[in-house]
Amino acid sequence: MGIAELSSSAQDYLKVIWDLQEWDKGPVQPTAVADRTGMKQSTVSGALGRLVDAGLVTHRPYGKVELTETGRRYAVTMVRRHRLLETFLVQVLGYGWDEVHEEADSLEHAVSDKMIDRIDDYLGHPTADPHGDLIPSAAGNLPPMPTTTRPLSEVSSGSKVRVQRVSDEDPRILRTLGNYHIGPGCLVWVESRQADDELAISRTDMRSTTSSTSGDFLVLSKEEAALIQVSLD
């Protein structure tokens, strides 16, 4: 079975499961799949059952979902398509990083492997998309993550960290970070925790040398900060 023989729905579910496993470092609960797709739990259960029958995922009742080796291969194909398309839309067509997720979701089902390979060649074989997500090679291999990451929500006050990845699921957060010129590769200070569920950050090159609260800082909720993966610098 080739990727084109899978329904668009099956392709979407495999990519979602991959994304969730990649972000959370392991198998995922069906409820997380439902939350990500916006589908009812009953709908997701039916879709997962069909993927199990096709040998693409493993899932026991009330248990977690995990890709089989075959499922992983197809998921990586879709992830590669999506992330190369996002990169092409930003670098070549001038889209903002907050505008490309839904566009890539639509295009990834229509393009051929040949076109994706041509885009990869044209872009010079990028290893990460505009959000910092790693782009698999044509052989299905992921480039090594340059460093160990953790959610920004888990970082203590006074830490200097480097942004590695930002989830592309919430365009509002991407626009907000863009307004503060914060993205993958940026060094930021965790200035303070306003409360247990909030923290303030600023770019190191915009931080006042005399005050840790210079006014040019961004306050994030714990849920928003969890969408940003960072490494200690």
In the predicted model, what is the mean pLDDT of residues 79-96? Answer: 98
What pLDDT does 1 receive?
59
Tell me which residue of 221, 157, 214 sits closest to 189, measured CA to CA: 157
What pLDDT does 22 receive?
87
85 token code pair: 């398309």
Question: Mind listing the domains of the chain with CATH numbers?
Answer: 1-143 (1.10.10.10), 150-232 (2.30.30.90)
What pLDDT does 215 receive?
52
In the predicted model, what is the mean pLDDT of residues 40-60? Answer: 93
The model's pLDDT over 71-87, given as tens digits with 9 standing for 90+, comes to: 999 999 999 999 999 99
| 3-class state of residue 64 by DSSP | coil
What pLDDT does 206 receive?
65
What pLDDT does 26 receive?
72
The model's pLDDT over 144-184, given as tens digits with 9 standing for 90+, comes to: 876 789 999 999 889 999 999 999 889 999 999 999 999 99
What pLDDT does 209 receive?
42
Cβ burial 53-69 (10 Å sphere, 16+ → b, else e): eeebbbbeeeeebebbe
Q: Where is 188: in which H helix or E strand?
A: strand 187-195
The model's pLDDT over 110-143, given as tens digits with 9 standing for 90+, comes to: 999 999 999 999 999 999 999 999 999 999 998 8
62: left (phi over 0), alpha (psi -120 to 50) or beta: left
Query: Chain centroid to CA 210: how far?
Result: 36
What pLDDT does 25 receive?
74
What pLDDT does 172 receive?
95
The model's pLDDT over 202-215, given as tens digits with 9 standing for 90+, comes to: 998 865 443 444 45
Q: Where is 218: in which H helix or E strand?
A: strand 218-221
In the predicted model, what is the mean pLDDT of residues 7-26? Answer: 90
